Homo-oligomer: A and B are copies of this chain.
Amino acid sequence: MLRTHTCGELRISDINSTVKLSGWVQRSRDLGGMTFIDLRDRYGITQLVFNMETHPKQGEQARKLGREYVIQITGKVAERSNKNAKIATGDIEIIVDDLTILNKAKLPPFTIEDDTDGGEELRMKYRYLDLRRNPLRKAMELRHKMAITTRNYLDKQGFFEIETPYLIKSTPEGARDFIVPSRMNANQFYALPQSPQTFKQLLMVAGYDRYYQIVKCFRDEDLRADRQPEFTQIDCEMAFVEQEDILNTFEGLTSYLFKEVKGLDISNFPRMDYADAMKFYGSDKPDMRFDMRFVELNDLAQNKGFVVFDQAELVIGINASGMAEYTRKQLDQLTDFVKKPQIGAAGLVYVKYNTDGTLKSSVDKFYSSEELQKWAERFAAKPGDLMLILSGGTDKVRKQLNELRLEMGNRMGLRNPNTFAPLWVVDFPLLEWDEESGRYHAMHHPFTSPKKEDIELLSTDPGKVRANAYDLVINGVEIGGGSIRIHDRDLQKLMFKHLGFTDEEAQAQFGFLMDAFEFGAPPHGGVAFGFDRITSLFGGSDSIRDYIAFPKNNSGRDIMIDSPSPIAQEQLDELRLNLVKAKK
């Protein structure tokens, strides 16, 4: 070993030991007779002291060390006169006897500090330097801890980790596949998995009972800031279970992670119907760190002469508790906020419940104090509260009010990243109507089972059919979801039919699964959690990119290795492919 200890290890009890350390030069201070160097590795920082009087050669060397040089030193542990309580090794320093430069370093293009001066693009190009910074190191350590803790929990629960293949088959249903040309099978292609869905179901058919994997998945989609072409999920499946069994198992996992990784006791995982989530929060992933439920006002607010409300399908609002003192300017900001094109409301109505008990609104012209008093009662508002009201088409206005609710949550400090409020959203619709293709799509995926009591609706009112599907939402972030699957060939066939597959298409793409259902498939279901997502949530961040060692940018490029890139014509020839030159 090129060291006897790490840079985070030595304590006051080690005084007078001779030690060997290796690491990076974080910082150096040349005080003439003495040079101090902060030596850094993954484990911490240790102060080195070079004494020009006793060790002039080493002192001279030390003066010339640049930032990020890799060095090895031998020396004696001494007590520090001015201790540094901020670091674990702050009680000691090393009086250096010997110094070896293991590798030089050019000046990094940005500072290796918690707050760096490097821009996004530069830090992506030199990702290996960015990864040296504390915030990223902590993110990677957190990710490691999340993974091993997840595995140990699932192992103890009897789950087998079973690897499913990466070279599978392209299926046009769902998102776009990445494809992989086969050289040995000319003009044929593998696809990279969007998820191990069919394989994990086959493992249930094979009797494996409880399966899990922390596994890479791939989607060739146009990227948004929080999407990556390759992402990781905690993927699980269980047999002989009902929905509640799965919810219990995975809230067990989530609680365990909170406890082991963050030392938090979080055991309350309420359930909410999808229909209620939409009605009361305007979102299928409501942030439950605060309530601020939607209140509907149609009966109270319509037919009083205010034409905007009269023409609206829904008049709906929230009560911002204690915000009655909002100024005109603040109210204008809120109005501007809801009128942003991304949100698209026409305007915002407010009612202030003043501390003196009077009510003041932007629609005083149309409503009497008594009428507004009834609104306040509906909102359960108290003096000092501020009611904010939108109106419009039901679906649209709910979405708009959801944005306003979250904005108010931010403004009111109700969304602390260190508070965690989980929620299971259940009873999702099975199908959703797609305007573009003019047909129903599976909201979850084609393998999700409909609720038994709703199966009859499939032929009469497919949009009304509820699925045995559920999502885990924490702090308004969708951590993952799952469903009880179909395990019967006929029902699966019926589902494909409703999704617009011909029998031939269904058989060609998913015949292996439907065949498998005929050989003794047990009832089963599962869940997939976004591992990048849950890790960043635990880290208190909403950027998954900081929790991925080597992420891609929004064009799907790895800037560091400069990929994707052109390949040699011989490679294309072997694969029997020709490029169609891009024009546009």
Chain B residue contacts of A545, Cβ below 8 A:
none
Q: A189-B565, A203-B131 are in contact. Are A555 and B141 (CB under 8 A)?
A: no
Chain B residue contacts of A41, Cβ below 8 A:
207, 209
Beta-carbon contact of A131 and B550 below 8 Å:
no
Binary interface profile of A, 198-211, with partner B (CB < 8 Å = 1, else 0)? Answer: 11001101111100
Closest to A172 in B: B568
Q: A24-B520, A42-B207 are in contact. Are A189 and B566 (CB under 8 A)?
A: yes
Chain B residue contacts of A148, Cβ below 8 A:
151-152, 155, 161
Beta-carbon contact of B512 and A561 below 8 Å:
yes
How far does the alpha carbon of A491 sit from the alpha carbon of B147 in the complex, in Å?
37
Beta-carbon contact of A566 and B22 below 8 Å:
no
Give the number of residues in A that approach B within 8 Å (Cβ atoms).
Answer: 125
Tell me which of B163, B168, B218, B522 contacts A166 (CB under 8 A). B218
Q: A41-B209, A129-B206, A520-B105 are in contact. Are A140 and B162 (CB under 8 A)?
A: yes
Binds B, one of A180-188, A276-284, A330-338: A180-188
Binary interface profile of A, 217-241, with partner B (CB < 8 Å = 1, else 0)? Answer: 0101011000001101000000011
Chain B residue contacts of A232, Cβ below 8 A:
163
Question: What is the minimal beta-carbon distance from A308 to any residue of chain B, in angstroms?
Answer: 43
Question: What is the minimal beta-carbon distance from A211 to any residue of chain B, in angstroms?
Answer: 9
Binary interface profile of A, 90-108, with partner B (CB < 8 Å = 1, else 0)? Answer: 0000000000001111101
Beta-carbon contact of A144 and B160 below 8 Å:
yes
Beta-carbon contact of B560 and A512 below 8 Å:
yes
Beta-carbon contact of A521 and B552 below 8 Å:
no
Chain B residue contacts of A143, Cβ below 8 A:
161-163
Binary interface profile of A, 122-134, with partner B (CB < 8 Å = 1, else 0)? Answer: 0000111101100
Tell me which of B68, B172, B222, B561 contacts A168 (CB under 8 A). B561
Chain B residue contacts of A548, Cβ below 8 A:
163
Chain B residue contacts of A147, Cβ below 8 A:
161
How far does the alpha carbon of A199 sit from the alpha carbon of B128 in the complex, in Å?
9
Q: Is residue A29 contacting chain B, with contact meaning CB distance below 8 A?
A: no
Chain B residue contacts of A69, Cβ below 8 A:
520
Beta-carbon contact of B169 and A222 below 8 Å:
no
Tell me which of B102, B160, B230 contacts A165 (CB under 8 A). B230
Binary interface profile of A, 546-584, with partner B (CB < 8 Å = 1, else 0)? Answer: 001110100111101111111110010111111111100
Beta-carbon contact of B24 and A207 below 8 Å:
yes
Chain B residue contacts of A181, Cβ below 8 A:
179, 181
A–B pairs, 12, beta carbons within 8 Å: A41-B209, A131-B203, A132-B207, A148-B161, A163-B232, A167-B178, A168-B561, A169-B564, A180-B564, A185-B555, A187-B579, A576-B581
List the 3 closest pairs (A to B, CB-CB), nearest first: A105-B520, A186-B582, A131-B206
Query: Which residues in A have some Cβ–Cβ distance to B below 8 Å?
Result: 1-3, 6, 22, 24, 40-43, 68-70, 72, 102-106, 108, 126-129, 131-132, 137, 140-141, 143-144, 147-148, 151-152, 155, 160-170, 172, 176-192, 198-199, 202-203, 205-209, 216, 218, 220, 222-223, 229-230, 232, 240-242, 245, 487-488, 512, 516-523, 548-550, 552, 555-558, 560-568, 571, 573-582
